[in-house]
Amino acid sequence: MAAEPTTKPAAAAGTVSLGDLTVNRMGLGAMRITGPGVWGDPPDRDGAKALLRRSLELGVNLIDTAFSYGPEVSENLIAEALHPYPDDLVIATKGGLSRPGPGQWVRDGRPETLRSSLEGSLRRLRLERIDVYQLHSVDPDVPIQESVGALVEFQREGKIRHIGLSNVDTRQLAAARAVATIVSVQNRYSVADRYSEGVLEVCERDGLAFLPWFPLMVGELASSTGRLAHIGRSHGATAAQVALAWLLRRSPVMTPIPGTSSVEHLEEDIAAAELQLSDSEFGELSHASEASL
């Protein structure tokens, strides 16, 4: 019988700091353990919980979720599957996006709404303090300083350990950092979508973790028949693994959180941490057009 590996796949990519917390750079996004359209229960609740447990076996110690995923479903499943939590597990959740109905995402950054969302997350996750609480999106009707200022107050109350942001530009990031210590930014980013390059550069310069959401563009890059697939074949890897390996090499603060409802795809995603791209492969992908990927 083969010996058990001494290093779990997620640890192969190294670590990143979230304030005084250290996590492996391959995390798990828990949006897709909900029903279709991120609404309601998943078709297989037991399967979703098995996926969460398997992620920890693979070395994942950062799980990203949100009140709005379900809504509430993702957080409830995390607690059902994993509580009591391992000491090294960091759960990051979010508030500031409401879900009045399927397909509806409404930004609401009012302090009273954020407090209600936070209290609900604490209850559902069975925690006294959230490790990383993120403003899910900036409300155009509420100054970001007011929304983030509310999170600072909750932090003083001992209900939040660290504050993160999601879906911000460089100007908004700077405004938030004027009133709070920010440890992470979660923006849309992938090898084919680099709109947030400026924000990533700020995070890299100042040591903030950068969590790219939709790192595979909702599966589009995983089904690539272009350069990603070509490079993957030379490594015995999939296009999705190459796309994730590119992200990990792009910056030491990059912390991908791919999401899936399949244990098979979870294992494939986490194994990307062990894929080492050559200098020429990384350069080729960095300069490739979206159409060629």
- Distance, in Å, from the CA atom of 182 to the CA atom of 17, rounded to the nearest integer, reads 12
Question: Average pLDDT in the 145-157 region?
Answer: 98
pTM to 2 decimal places: 0.95
Question: Average pLDDT in the 25-35 region?
Answer: 97
What's the number of CA atoms in the CB half-sphere (13 Å) around residue 253? 20
Residue, of 85 and 293, whose pLDDT is higher:
85
What's the number of CA atoms in the CB half-sphere (13 Å) around residue 170? 12
Q: What share of the chain is helix, strand, coil (3-state, %, to 5)?
A: 45, 20, 40
E strands, the chain, are: 15-18, 21-24, 28-29, 62-64, 90-95, 97-98, 106-107, 130-135, 160-166, 182-188, 209-213
Average of per-residue pLDDT values in the chain: 95
Q: Which domains does the chain have, with CATH numbers?
A: 14-217+253-259 (3.20.20.100)
pLDDT tens column, 101-137: 999 999 999 999 999 999 999 999 999 999 999 999 9
On the question of a cis peptide bond just before residue 71, with omega within 30 degrees of 0, the verdict is yes
pLDDT given for residue 2 in this prediction = 44
Question: Average pLDDT in the 171-200 region?
Answer: 97
Q: Which of 211, 142, 198, 149 is nearest to 177 (CA)?
A: 149
> What token pair was written down for 280?
């020429």
pLDDT tens column, 161-179: 999 999 999 999 999 999 9
On the question of a cis peptide bond just before residue 84, with omega within 30 degrees of 0, the verdict is yes
Place of tokens 């155009």: 140
Alpha carbon of residue 215 to chain centroid: 9
pLDDT tens column, 89-109: 999 999 999 999 999 999 999
Per the annotation, the verdict on 133 as an active-site residue is no
| Count of Cβ atoms closer than 10 Å to residue 123 Cβ | 13
- Distance, in Å, from the CA atom of 215 to the CA atom of 122, rounded to the nearest integer, reads 28
pLDDT given for residue 7 in this prediction = 74
- Distance, in Å, from the CA atom of 259 to the CA atom of 186, rounded to the nearest integer, reads 14
Angle between helices 227-235 and 279-287 (to 10 degrees): 170
Q: What is the DSSP string of 36-67?
A: GGGBS--S-HHHHHHHHHHHHHTT--EEE--T
Strand 182-188 and strand 160-166: the pairing is parallel
pLDDT tens column, 244-278: 999 999 999 999 999 999 999 999 999 999 999 99
> What token pair was written down for 199?
């924000």
Strand 15-18 and strand 21-24: the pairing is antiparallel
Q: Which of these is catalytic: 69, 85, 133, 189?
A: 69
| Count of Cβ atoms closer than 10 Å to residue 27 Cβ | 25
- Distance, in Å, from the CA atom of 259 to the CA atom of 279, rounded to the nearest integer, reads 27
